[in-house]
Structure 1
Amino acid sequence: MLLLQIGDKVVYPMHGAGVISGIENCEVLGEGKSYYVLEMPLGNMKVMIPTDNADNVGLRDVIPQQKVDEVREVLEEEPEKPKGSWNKRFHANLDRMKSGDICDVAAVARNLILQDRRRHISSGERRLLDLAKQILVSELVYACDKTPKEVENWLTSVLSANAFAH
């Protein structure tokens, strides 16, 4: 079981990375529960996660700086060939992102960005791409100790240099 403290940087799958800003006790339906208050830097959002459910929702530590190279490698790899209808691809990508693994999120972002350059992606896939980029940027901000803009620029340059991008 995760024992988190105020100030810990964590990732909440499908939402991105944030900082535990507090631990609050709230009463819901007559039952007292303890919640982690997670402040998300992108979108200025606060999320409350029951402390006894943190493991079940996939809450995890931000990746260490050393794993950023692994993320770069995923971004530099050949994109997977799109298979099936956009709807099937959308659900396969969504499932991949729900895993909470930053390398899976990076692969989804890479595939959709490079696919969009060849032929435009659907509006549903565009929303998924935006979410994948937001999740990726939010975690890399903490892992690299950089601003969101610096991380976005890095992401753009790595994907622009992808040998399979053209």
Structure 2
Amino acid sequence: MFKVGDKVACPPHGVGVIEGTEEREVGGRKVVYLRISLVGKNMSILIPEAAAETSGIRHILSEEEIAEIFEFLSETPTNISEKWTVRHRLNVDRLRTGDIKELATVVRNLSFRAKDKDLSYSEKRMFEEAFSKLSEEIALSLGEPVKKIKQRIRKILKEVQK
């Protein structure tokens, strides 16, 4: 269960902190919502408390999980399709899951591909979106600036060998 002060990932919105709860009347019933203030954005979202577990919201990464993600990012990817349509569909599906490992897969694979060939406009946008979400979650978890985490991830990705 989630409580006020918890740091959470809210696919597809990003990461945030549960600021509090609000009660509103919807269809003649009182519904309790979690108010989540999104990090790096001047906005918050409301999620019905009863649906929080099934909405895709999850607690942010632990330090152990972050270490696993950094290790994963340093591995050389295999089986990246040469067909743009296949790559794009796979990456869109990965991003929809909200799973952090799938997000890291998109970052790693697109970064690796960019070493050989220019990415298409949509792949560049997809990479930037995934890279930002991954960096923001790690930064929030570790309590470090996003800029520092982005530099750390770029360094890891740069060292991946062809």
| CA deviation vs aligned residue, 1:120-164 (integer Å, no higher than 9, x gap) | 122222222122112101210122221111111111111111123
- Mapping for residues 64-83 of structure 1, pairs under 5 Å: 64-83=62-81
Residue 21 of structure 1 aligns to a residue whose secondary structure is strand
Q: Report the equivalent of 1:97.
A: 95
- Mapping for residues 6-17 of structure 1, pairs under 5 Å: 6-17=4-15
For the Cα contact (< 8 Å) 1:40–1:46, is it kept in 2? yes
| CA deviation vs aligned residue, 1:20-78 (integer Å, no higher than 9, x gap) | 01211223455432211111112333121111211222111111111111001111111
Q: CA 1:80–1:48 in 2, change beyond 3 Å: closer, same or farther?
A: farther
Distance 1:100 1:155 in 2: 19
- Mapping for residues 1-166 of structure 1, pairs under 5 Å: 3-83=1-81, 85-164=83-162
**More displaced, 74-83 or 4-13?**
74-83
Distance 1:105 1:97 in 2: 6
Distance 2:119 2:86 in 1: 13
Residue 6 of structure 1 aligns to a residue whose secondary structure is coil
Residue 8 of structure 2 aligns to a residue whose secondary structure is strand
* Percent identity of paired positions between Structure 1 and Structure 2: 30
Which amino acid in 2 is paired with 1:78?
T
Residue 121 of structure 1 aligns to a residue whose secondary structure is coil
Which amino acid in 2 is paired with 1:97?
L
Residue 118 of structure 1 aligns to a residue whose secondary structure is coil
Which amino acid in 1 is paired with 2:146?
P
Residue 39 of structure 1 aligns to a residue whose secondary structure is strand
Residue 34 of structure 2 aligns to a residue whose secondary structure is strand
Distance 2:46 2:32 in 1: 9
Distance 1:44 1:81 in 2: 39
What TM-score results when the alignment is normalised by the length of structure 2? 0.89
What TM-score results when the alignment is normalised by the length of structure 1? 0.87
Q: CA 1:15–1:87 in 2, change beyond 3 Å: closer, same or farther?
A: farther
Residue 26 of structure 1 aligns to a residue whose secondary structure is strand
Alignment length, in residue pairs? 162
